[in-house]
Chains A and B, each alone.
Chain A
């Protein structure tokens, strides 16, 4: 398997622009997670899906952030409008199921810089 795929790997945009990050989970995985990593706050869970349904979005920082999972093989994280403080590395991860030691497998991350 190719692992979790994220695109783009790097994104530079100007404040106020819309940013869309994309993720393809490992085939067959039931869960998909979006994390954000910053120097100040470390790794934070933003939202996760189970079978394409959002389960917990309590980590989403504000209404400017939204995430969708239209099917089992694709998810997006959108920021509109973007702000400089959104600059971070955004990771997508997937796993098979919960209730056991089901490891989350991470994608390579998208480094976002908002100018």
Chain B
């Protein structure tokens, strides 16, 4: 039973390029959460998605960032026109339905470096 799978593990992009981060939730999990970890800081919530729906995007920057979780395939976090300040570790977590307050399972993260 594979856990939450994220790829790539490491991603290097030049300023102005696009970054696509993928997350496949655990089997049976239909809820996906994206978090960002900046150096020397804790994790900050970005967005919560269910299949084909964005439920809470209150932590997403207003520009350049978008997320989706299609009916088929992984969840994608997309960052357009990346800047140096986007360099961070991006973690995806998943949970089953009705898991309110239970806790999530995290992936190993994608470490984005913008040069």
Are A and B bound to each other?
no
By a beta-carbon cutoff of 8 Å, the part of chain B in contact with chain A is: none
By a beta-carbon cutoff of 8 Å, the part of chain A in contact with chain B is: none
